[in-house]
Amino acid sequence: MKNLIVVLLIAFIVPALSAQGKYFTKEGKISFFSDAPMEKIEAHNRKANSVLDPATGKMEWSVLVKAFQFDKALMQEHFNENYMESDKFPKAVFKGVIQDHDKIDWKKDGVHNVKVRGTMEIHGVTKDVVADGKIAIKGTSISAQSDLTVAVSDYEIKIPAVVKDNIAKTVKIDIKADYAPLVK
Amino acid sequence: MKKILLLIVLSFLFLFQINAQDDTDLLSMLDEEETIDYTSAAFKTNRVINLHSLENTARGVLDFKISHRFGFINGGAYELFGLDNATIRLGFDYGLTNNFQIGIGRSGFEKTYDGYMKYRLLRQSTGKRRMPITLSVLAATAIRGQKWTRDEVEYPFFARFNYTYQLILGRKFSDNFSMQLSPTVVHRNLVVTRTEKNDVFALGIAMRQRITRRLALNVEYIYVLPDQIAPGLKHSLSVGCDIETGGHVFQLHFTNSTAMNEKGFIAETTGDWLKGGIRFGFNVSRVFTIVKPKIID
């Protein structure tokens, strides 16, 4: 009888815990910056989706490419039409794991420097990516922040010769998220 | 025995649940909010060639257009195939909102000033709101600035005015192909002969086929209902390509029309394609961002 109670407890509590232990945001901020000799371009997306699972260290991001906002309407159109081909590849996705996530005490307030290793899919091309970032834990909320550099050519995005001085070969990407507990 | 069985079943259940958790795609745990996905860039600019296209100038954007139509190609080598002569239109288009655009222009042809308003009533979209077509309405006025040729006649001032009302209805069928219809009424306060009607009903049809990412082929034809325009006048037919380079769009084309306002190219086209009555022409569009869009937090 004792065994049964233990099993029952485990059977019901453990899955419940692992479902509740996840964190999410639908308002992740992703910005990118292109710094070319002739032109500085930046675009912002405040609608990124992300889920973080402290138990496994998994972190996943998904963002609608069309939701990037530019200062110039024509630039935004070109970004979607000519470079990202957003109708064909509507989303950019990152799936990664926080390295040494088991060394982080997710229950205690604190700031941790972390390395995230994973795959990034942009423009239909998937590449391995390693990024340095920061995780800050405060009460029941977790915030994450990172910046990384991405080579445009890695994702088979072609820059024509006429605009080679207007668009940088590598763009800097800033990522920020304030996670809240995921209740299912 | 029962107890043991129950224990085994529960153990499996428990293991299964753990596994299920591990395999789950984390992102699928979020309900994705569906958004309205507006179809963009059915045409490269707000004009196909002469006709207004399905596109509007975005809010806060000023589009400066320099347009040229050279002389008729059948002028031959003596006229350098028309390049010796040119008529020009300078114009500004401005987006008051993403769906409401206004513009002014000045053409060398009959020293015409023109102004228009264009409002997009329906916008093609997918996602949360599905709309198969884009529908815009255009109202334009053109005022002749040129002096009348006959001094002995006293023309009233309103004789200089012409009006155009147009619906622009179309669809971007695929990434590469777009098509639109433009039913139009042109009202001319003054016509030259009795055979011409003051109100001219016409139907424009225009298509775009994209060749590469930055090059597109455009064709537009304007059918005018019979017995409305002076005998010998032709329907406007234009063929051209759009070349895009960053902030500029170059539209290079061949057309049998001279004027670059609706009344002129719809009701007063003289060139005959079959006899070489074709002009080379171009529109150059350069956009300036006057009001930066707000980044929505």
Q: Whole-number mean pLDDT of chain B?
A: 90
Residues in chain A with CB shorter than 8 Å from the CB of B6 are 4
How far is Cα A154 from Cα A148, in angstroms, rounded to an integer? 14
- Residue A11: pLDDT band (50, 70, 90) is low
Provide mean pLDDT across the span B49-63. 95
Q: Which residue of B has its CA nearest to A162?
A: B245
Cβ atoms B243, B44 nearer than 8 A? no
Q: What is the pLDDT of residue B20?
A: 47
Q: Exposed e or buried b for every residue in B61-91, given b needs 16+ CB within 10 A?
A: bbbebebbbbbbbebeeeeebbeeeebebeb
Domains in chain B: boundaries: 36-289
Q: Please indicate whether, in this complex, the C-beta atoms of A7 and B11 are within 8 angstroms of each other.
A: yes
Question: Which DSSP letter does residue A72 get?
Answer: S
Q: Is A81 on the interface with B (CB under 8 A)?
A: yes
Those of residues 96-155 in A touching chain B at CB distance below 8 A are none
Q: Is the pLDDT of residue B224 over 60?
A: yes
- Interface touch A49/B32, C-beta < 8 Å: yes
CATH number of B36-289: 2.40.160.40
pLDDT band at B245 (very low <50, low <70, confident <90, very high): confident
Using the Cβ of B104 and the Cβ atoms of chain A, whether some distance falls under 8 Å is answered with no
Residues of B in contact with A81 (CB under 8 A): 40-41, 213
DSSP per-residue string spanning chain B: -HHHHHHHHHHHHHHHHHHHHHHS-GGGGSPPPP-EEE---SSSSSBSSSSB-S--PPBTEEEEEEEEEEEEGGGTGGGGGGTT-EEEEEEEEEESSSSEEEEEEEETGGGEEEEEEEEEEE--EEETS-B--EEEEEEEEEEE-SPPS-TTS---GGGGEEEEEEEEEEEE-SSSEEEEEEEEEEEES--SSTTS-SEEEEEEEEEEEEEETTEEEEEEEEEE-SSSS-TT-B-EEEEEEEEEETTEEEEEEEES---SSHHHHHH-B---GGGT--EEEEEEEEEEESSPPPPP-
pLDDT tens track for B72-118: 999 889 889 888 889 999 999 999 999 999 999 999 999 999 999 99
In this prediction, residue A18 carries a pLDDT of 46
pLDDT at A58 over 90: yes
Tell whether the model's pLDDT for residue B296 goes beyond 80.
no
* Domains of chain A in sequence order: 23-181 (2.40.128.110)
Amino acid occupying residue B209: Q
Average pLDDT on B163-178 reads 96
Q: What is the mean pLDDT of residues A67-78?
A: 91
Q: Which pLDDT value is given to residue B294?
A: 76
Task: Specify the pLDDT at position A28.
Answer: 94
* pLDDT at site B85: 87
Using pLDDT thresholds of 50, 70 and 90, give the confidence band for residue A83: very high
Mutate to test the interface with B, among A74, A80, A93 (most CBs of B within 10 A): A74
A182 Cβ under 8 Å from any chain B Cβ: yes
pLDDT value at residue B279: 95
Q: Which residues contact B73 (CB under 8 A, 6 or more apart)?
A: B81, B82, B254, B276, B277, B278, B279, B280
Cβ contacts (< 8 Å) between B247 and chain A: which residues?
Answer: 74
Q: How deeply is A27 buried, as exposed, middle or buried, from its count of CB atoms within 10 A (0-12, 13-18, 19+)?
A: middle
For range B223-233, the mean pLDDT: 92
Q: Which residues in chain B are closer than 8 Å to A1, comparing Cβ atoms?
A: 3
For chain A, give the mean pLDDT.
89
Is the per-residue pLDDT at B278 higher than 90? Answer: yes
Q: Chain A within 8 Å of B246 (Cβ-Cβ)?
A: yes
- Which value, in Å, is the radius of gyration of the alpha carbons in chain B? 27
Contacts of B17 in chain A (CB under 8 A): 11, 14-15
pLDDT computed for residue A7 by the predictor: 61
Distance CA B261, CA B203 (A): 15
pLDDT tens digit sequence for A158-181: 888 888 888 999 999 999 999 999
Q: Tell me whether B37 touches chain A (CB under 8 Å).
A: yes
Over 90: is that where the pLDDT of B6 sits? no
